Structure 1
Amino acid sequence: MKFFATCPKGLEPVLFDELQALNVETPKQTLAGVYFSGGLEAAYRACLWSRVANRILLELKRCPAETADELYRGVREVSWLEHMRPEGTLLIDFTGQSEGINHSRFGAQKVKDAIVDQIRDETGRRPSVERQKPDLRVNVHLQRGEATIAIDMSGDSLHRRGYRLEAGKAPMKENLAAALLYRCGWPAKAAEGQALLDPMCGSGTLLVEGALMAADIAPGLLRRDYGFTYWTQHNNTIWQTLLDEAKERRETGLKQAKSRFEGFDADIKVLNHARENARRAGIESLIHLERRDLSRLSRPTSDEQGLVITNPPYGERLGDEPTLFFLYQHLGERLKADFAGWQAAVFTGNPELCRMMKLASDKTYKLYNGAIPSQLQIFNIRARKASELLVETPSESVQPAVEATDEVDAAPVELSDGAQMLANRLKKNLKQLGKWAKRENISCYRLYDADLPEYSAAIDLYNDWVHVQEYQAPKSIDVVKAFARLQEIVAVLPSVLGIPAEKIVLKQRKRQQGTNQYEKRDQTEHYFDVNEGGCRILVNLEDYLDTGLFLDHRPVRLQVQQQAKGKDFLNLFSYTSTVSLHAAKGGARSTTSVDMSATYLNWARKNFALNGFSETQHQFIQEDCIKWLKGQKGQSYDLIFMDPPTFSNSKRMHDVLDIQRDHVDLIKLAMGLLRPEGKLIFSNNYRRFKIDPQLSEVFKVVDITRKTIDLDFKRHARIHQCFEISALMQSAEE
């Protein structure tokens, strides 16, 4: 008998090797499959044991089929009563086309007519079409005017093992997962007892397929029906012998399996699917599944070697590419940090993302995930050299980028007396604040805030970058003099801080209206991350007036991080959601961030991705906060942070916001979402703000402004005002 095993494009070499291992006769690799020959046992064994094939087709005949009539005659030349009962059911799969047959449905109709007409002419009875579980599934492929007529021995596609009834948003087919594992040499690794780990396991397909291989379990054991089940030439004795053999191998394999299997995912729902899939596959005892963000990825302590394999999102169906850059970067960092001696494999439809891992791939295979051209990149994780460990500073222990120099003698001699005074003031501040920042593990802070009235600017350090915001000079100040002083600021900074002028970003800060401070001002897209409280936060010093991180709110962010564990956290007017990020870092059960700007919410998503947090428990809502608050029913939170603008008349807002006028209503709306023991942290940067006394009649209001001003903002402590607001405790009598 002649057979053809079909498979997805790119998997032909893997299928060829697999069929050779099954001892089929004369295998021959071709596009999208492998030809082989043998008896019924060879076909049955391929159906039962092939992890890569889609279908096993038994070829009956080849015939000319340029026209519909030729196809009809060729099909009628097969004796169909040798393959099915007169009153049986059938289904036709037709692929290909010719001049006379340009549609698969038309071709399938002609094949069906030929079979039905032949059987009716010979018996007076006729078979019927059945799409779900037909007695006979006929496959016809038309190419270059020739039709190949075959019986589908597999029935439903072999990749459908029977264990995966539910999956995530973008599931990988089981036979593709198996092929990836073959490419990584997993069967040999499993024989050595190596571990298999998927840090973004979804519904667990890679892990289940890996466990089936390790335990020597035939992938077809769970299937009840095959294409040959009701075929009249089916030999049940041969089939039962193969089944009994496979069952014995499964029992032995489960006892002898030595490998550890671990799967992590941030989405508890898909993890539950994975558990059910493992249970149905009969290997739940082998696999440990756990909800875990990528940020907590670590090597199992008892395993010296193993395979990390994963299929991260790559922008085709899930996520967006800019955010994914950081996910892949984070994955690479975790692999380099904790998986020396292991092998890692990443399957992606966007190979450019793998470059973010900063690992050199040892092998690359071009494959397809459905119709999507994809790559499997395999990495051997090597131990880092001592020199690399010295160069790389762990994100948990970032040191201040600049420290005070002993002298300012590097300043240009042509500086005026005023500029020299500025240089000396910067040096003094740097000595004081640099020691404090180093002690507190702060990598960005305000160095200078118009300490000398003549030099009216805010100067902030972000690692080894300097962000200078010149305050708009009053109209009484000569513009030429103001510009000269600004030039002196820029001239002094490199010599005092020991940084190149190219790393100084200069802006003018003037009174803003609406959301002007959030509007884009440039197109550099130059983002880099800074460290705060163990969080990595993206900043952009050039494209917007603000950088993505309000430095004055550092104590509030750290306070939220300390208080958020196990709580549902809401962040209103969230900007880039750095407070939400700190809540997530502190172990919040969930975070919800609401802001009008899609730009800043996307920035927030990147922050979460950079830190290895999934969006499953962390929600980002683009909406006018006032409208959103008014529309909430049934929602409640343990901890709320609200930092509205002083004034906003943005076109995207349904109402004009004036914080002094509107704060009472705004606070009452937010308190309506607060659980009885919860807390609202309310902040704003209106320097003349006065909180309405009526709020103290219905809530407990505590001014915590002084506690939320760090050393670098003590000089201008009214940069913001901050209050803790909670429910009044009722007396026992009440």
Structure 2
Amino acid sequence: MNADTTREYLALCPRGIGSLLTHELAALGATGVRETPAGVFFAGSRATLYRACLWSRLANRILLPLADFEATDPDALYRGLREIAWPELFSAHSSFAVDFHGQTPAIRNTQFGAQRSKDAIVDTFRDRGQPRPDVNRRQADIRVSVQLFKGLARVALDLCGGSLHQRGYRVRAGDAPLKENLAAALLLRADWPGMAARGGALVDPMCGSATLLIEGALMAADHAPGLSRQRFAFEAWLAHDARQWEAVLGDARSRAARGLERELPEIRGYDADPAVVRYAQANIAAAGLQRHVRVSCKPLAELRRPSHRPMSQGLVICNPPYGERLGEKASLRHLYQRLGQVLHDEFDGWDAAVFTADLELGRAIGLRSHRQYALYNGALKSSLLLFALRDNRLRDAPLQREPQSAEATDNAPSQDRTALSEGAVMFANRLRKNRRHLANWVKRNGIECYRVYDADMPEYAVAVDIYADWVHIAEYAAPAGVDPEAARLRLEDVLQAVPDALAIAPSHIVLKQRQRQRGTAQYTRQDSSDRLLTVREGQASLLVNLQDYLDTGLFLDHRSLRRRLAEEARGRDFLNLFCYTGSATVHAALGGARSTTSVDMSNTYLDWLRKNLARNGLAENRHHLVRDDARAWLERGGQDADLILLDPPSFSNSKRLEDVFDLQRDHPALIRSTMRRLRPDGVMYFSNNKRRFQLDPAMAEEFCCEDVTAQTLDPDFRRGKKPHVCFRFSHRHGALS
């Protein structure tokens, strides 16, 4: 028993990482290492075996092959197992269990196969006059592996016991956690050990239960992944050399102690879900790494390169949600786009690794991947995408440009102005004048979307809005008595003038006829291009659709109000009633809202909001979407909030509502039910776009009420008629007592 005999062993691992395991085992001193469909075979002494069990970051199990034999029926299986000298492998006083996998036409049930195998092993002990060893399925001292495939039984001793991926530090887990050995494989493929040796940092922006961070820290600290295991099955193997094992174990403990005493690279993780962050912190503490791994609650939108010490290089690695696993694919595409934008903007010179089961989502990142590895997450075929972020151009990203000045517009190459009609020249001049008037404000505030013209000249009844490098023209219906042919000619003047005056390609101009709408008609689908354009507004990236609806998904006149909500949202619960596409929700969330709740009857617009949240890296676990009639939802109890936006339609007779809603008539009841949801020190903003709206005087008597319309209109909406009215409500002192 004391002779350190070289034996052949079989290491099992997840699909796709066999080549990595081959190199790992060779580095641990194994010989004859070869990868096969069954696993990675290797040879070595007991010390090599112990090092493999203790140090392998990639293996699931390490087996001692015992026999291969024909087992087409239960009797053949029994006879083959009786040929193995089980009493020479483990004591009758040790408990055991059989892990049986596979079937044949005669052995169709794994439980039956395990029972028949157990009988053969027990009878072997009885034949030698020894006691019957006990069976313990959950905590066996010895585990026997029987694999049945195409009538061939492969029998081995499992020298590890439980799977090696179970390191012992995961006390809590969120949804769909990575197995520890798969996480280690991702880090090795991304060359994290090399990066750590060069002093680079490790960042996981969607860290979940912190598996990638902990595995990365264990690598950097030279900490054996098996050190936290309570026991290994080889300790009950009769060929076990306890002295040799203590030597291997002692060396690993010394290396881990030295590794944890030195300063490790910066290792940080973030997640948008506070509960998941708490899980991660518990796991980090269980691994004894709380001095070295830090996690905090932060959405992807707020991710920045760590700046407290110089970090010219590092690795950003993450396992974002994909497919139907944790979210909807349409929304997740925007999350991946946001990830690409953050990597591009914040981590120039670093490396990145993204693990996904959906390559289409991976392409949405928009960065060039220089290498891809095919791996499996369980049975799910997945890919690890590697990115070198230095000079990696972001595809399909919003252009990082300064807003054009009026001078740049006037001097831009354009068509021959003498070719314009007299009306087009007049309209173009007005556009240039308006844009010049707004130029300093646009540049100073980084405004990308704004109104440059709104029926300033009665004969040209259109609204002209700029959305980055697109122009959206909405024609108002001509009043009765206006010659349709004259209206048509004036619209041609507009279309002729805009490219020249605003230096916009005709292909980037969208025209829609707009009439005064009632109820939900303004939301009715006009086209089906489904083309979403990303625009910037303050901190937010917002999705607009210029083609398919009369409105674009972003009410530009509420820009200042959204800015105000963002400034007042920090630490508050925000409620957005009649939320539309949720641009105000995004601003409140980015402003630091503790939570947001958005209520709307339209699935279309709630899905749009989901995309807006994802585009800004905001997880839905703190941002709740409710499909309901806001009035009915409030009457049923709703949800209390510190900050509320109430922006109802002027009129609605939707088939989904039991009655007709008229804002002028019904707003007092709506305001009262909303104010019942406002906490004592909270603020509610009530806005609407009904012309000639008059607030019921009783509202100012019941509540503190201030008309803030003028304060919520930016310069591009201060011309002509006010596009909306807005009131700030709060409770009178003692009103709720």
After superposition, the C-alpha distances for 1:687-725 in whole angstroms (9 at most, x for unaligned) are 132211122221112122222222222233332111111
1:446 is aligned to 451
User: Which of 320, 328, 334 in structure 1 is aligned with 2:336?
Assistant: 328
Sort the Cα spacing of 1:229 and 1:660 in 2 relative to 1 into closer, same or farther, 3 A.
farther
Sort the Cα spacing of 1:175 and 1:624 in 2 relative to 1 into closer, same or farther, 3 A.
same
Partners of 1:130 and 1:414 in 2: CA distance: 92
Partners of 1:166 and 1:384 in 2: CA distance: 37
1:672 is aligned to 676
2:84 is aligned to 78
TM-score, structure 1 as length reference: 0.93
Range with bigger deviation, 469-478 or 526-535: 469-478
CA contact (8 A) 1:59 1:149 kept: yes
After superposition, the C-alpha distances for 1:262-301 in whole angstroms (9 at most, x for unaligned) are 1122222212211111111112211122222223333334
CA contact (8 A) 1:401 1:443 kept: no
1:180 is aligned to 186
Partners of 1:323 and 1:57 in 2: CA distance: 44
CA contact (8 A) 2:687 2:726 kept: yes
Report the Cα offset of residue 16 of structure 1. Answer: 0.6
Range with bigger deviation, 406-415 or 595-604: 406-415
Match of 2:165, SS state, is coil
Partners of 1:82 and 1:704 in 2: CA distance: 88
- 2:720 maps to 1:716: yes
CA contact (8 A) 1:401 1:464 kept: no
User: Which of 110, 113, 117 in structure 1 is aligned with 2:116?
Assistant: 110
1:240 is aligned to 246
Partners of 1:374 and 1:629 in 2: CA distance: 44
Match of 1:719, SS state, is coil
- 2:342 maps to 1:337: no
Partners of 1:401 and 1:23 in 2: CA distance: 71
2:374 is aligned to 366
Match of 1:276, SS state, is helix
Report the Cα offset of residue 38 of structure 1. Answer: 2.9
Report the Cα offset of residue 367 of structure 1. Answer: 0.7
Range with bigger deviation, 406-415 or 338-347: 406-415
Q: What aligned pairs does 1:16-95 form with structure 2 within 5 A after superposition?
A: 16-31=22-37, 33-86=39-92, 88-95=94-101
User: Which of 162, 172, 175 in structure 2 is aligned with 1:166?
Assistant: 172
Q: What aligned pairs does 1:482-561 form with structure 2 within 5 A after superposition?
A: 482-561=487-566
Range with bigger deviation, 575-584 or 376-385: 376-385
Matching residue's letter, 1:450:
A
Report the Cα offset of residue 105 of structure 1. Answer: 3.4
Partners of 1:374 and 1:344 in 2: CA distance: 17
Matching residue's letter, 1:357:
I
Q: What aligned pairs does 1:423-434 form with structure 2 within 5 A after superposition?
A: 423-434=428-439
Match of 1:35, SS state, is strand
5+ residue gaps, structure 1: none
Matching residue's letter, 2:436:
K
Partners of 2:29 and 2:521 in 1: CA distance: 72
Seq. identity, %: 49
Sort the Cα spacing of 1:552 and 1:32 in 2 relative to 1 into closer, same or farther, 3 A.
farther
Partners of 1:338 and 1:404 in 2: CA distance: 31
User: Which of 133, 147, 151 in structure 1 is aligned with 2:139?
Assistant: 133
Match of 2:563, SS state, is helix
CA contact (8 A) 1:535 1:611 kept: yes
Report the Cα offset of residue 418 of structure 1. Answer: 4.0
Partners of 1:257 and 1:492 in 2: CA distance: 65
Sort the Cα spacing of 1:585 and 1:400 in 2 relative to 1 into closer, same or farther, 3 A.
farther
Partners of 2:414 and 2:103 in 1: CA distance: 83
1:302 is aligned to 310
Partners of 2:370 and 2:409 in 1: CA distance: 45
Partners of 1:331 and 1:408 in 2: CA distance: 36
Partners of 1:32 and 1:259 in 2: CA distance: 37
Sort the Cα spacing of 1:407 and 1:46 in 2 relative to 1 into closer, same or farther, 3 A.
closer
Report the Cα offset of residue 140 of structure 1. Answer: 1.0
Report the Cα offset of residue 603 of structure 1. Answer: 1.6
Sort the Cα spacing of 1:485 and 1:465 in 2 relative to 1 into closer, same or farther, 3 A.
same
1:276 is aligned to 282
1:7 is aligned to 13
Sort the Cα spacing of 1:114 and 1:407 in 2 relative to 1 into closer, same or farther, 3 A.
closer
User: Which of 313, 321, 326 in structure 2 is aligned with 1:313?
Assistant: 321
Sort the Cα spacing of 1:611 and 1:399 in 2 relative to 1 into closer, same or farther, 3 A.
farther
User: Which of 570, 580, 585 in structure 2 is aligned with 1:580?
Assistant: 585
Report the Cα offset of residue 533 of structure 1. Answer: 2.1
* RMSD of equivalent CA atoms: 2.7
Partners of 2:14 and 2:291 in 1: CA distance: 31
Report the Cα offset of residue 415 of structure 1. Answer: 5.6
Matching residue's letter, 1:16:
T
Match of 2:209, SS state, is coil
Report the Cα offset of residue 454 of structure 1. Answer: 2.5
- 2:610 maps to 1:605: yes
CA contact (8 A) 2:405 2:436 kept: no
User: Which of 683, 686, 691 in structure 2 is aligned with 1:682?
Assistant: 686
1:262 is aligned to 268
After superposition, the C-alpha distances for 1:112-164 in whole angstroms (9 at most, x for unaligned) are 23223444555485445422111321101123432111111111110000000
Partners of 1:191 and 1:231 in 2: CA distance: 38
CA contact (8 A) 2:98 2:144 kept: yes
- 2:579 maps to 1:591: no
Partners of 1:192 and 1:425 in 2: CA distance: 60
TM-score, structure 2 as length reference: 0.92
Sort the Cα spacing of 1:443 and 1:241 in 2 relative to 1 into closer, same or farther, 3 A.
same
Matching residue's letter, 2:79:
R
Partners of 1:497 and 1:680 in 2: CA distance: 38
After superposition, the C-alpha distances for 1:508-559 in whole angstroms (9 at most, x for unaligned) are 2124343232232222122112222232221110011110110111121112
User: Which of 641, 644, 650 in structure 1 is aligned with 2:645?
Assistant: 641
Sort the Cα spacing of 1:404 and 1:254 in 2 relative to 1 into closer, same or farther, 3 A.
closer
Partners of 2:631 and 2:96 in 1: CA distance: 61
Sort the Cα spacing of 1:20 and 1:316 in 2 relative to 1 into closer, same or farther, 3 A.
farther
5+ residue gaps, structure 2: 1-6
Partners of 2:303 and 2:684 in 1: CA distance: 33
Partners of 1:259 and 1:710 in 2: CA distance: 47
Partners of 2:176 and 2:128 in 1: CA distance: 49
Partners of 1:622 and 1:402 in 2: CA distance: 47
User: Which of 704, 710, 714 in structure 1 is aligned with 2:708?
Assistant: 704
1:200 is aligned to 206
After superposition, the C-alpha distances for 1:543-585 in whole angstroms (9 at most, x for unaligned) are 1111011011112111212222222211111111111222223
- 2:660 maps to 1:656: yes
CA contact (8 A) 1:344 1:378 kept: yes
Match of 1:93, SS state, is strand
1:729 is aligned to 733
- 2:567 maps to 1:562: yes
CA contact (8 A) 1:408 1:424 kept: no
Report the Cα offset of residue 352 of structure 1. Answer: 2.6
Range with bigger deviation, 298-307 or 136-145: 298-307
Partners of 1:402 and 1:516 in 2: CA distance: 40
After superposition, the C-alpha distances for 1:44-66 in whole angstroms (9 at most, x for unaligned) are 22111111000011111111112
Report the Cα offset of residue 188 of structure 1. Answer: 3.0
Range with bigger deviation, 705-714 or 110-119: 110-119
Partners of 1:51 and 1:571 in 2: CA distance: 48
Matching residue's letter, 1:703:
D
Partners of 1:497 and 1:228 in 2: CA distance: 77
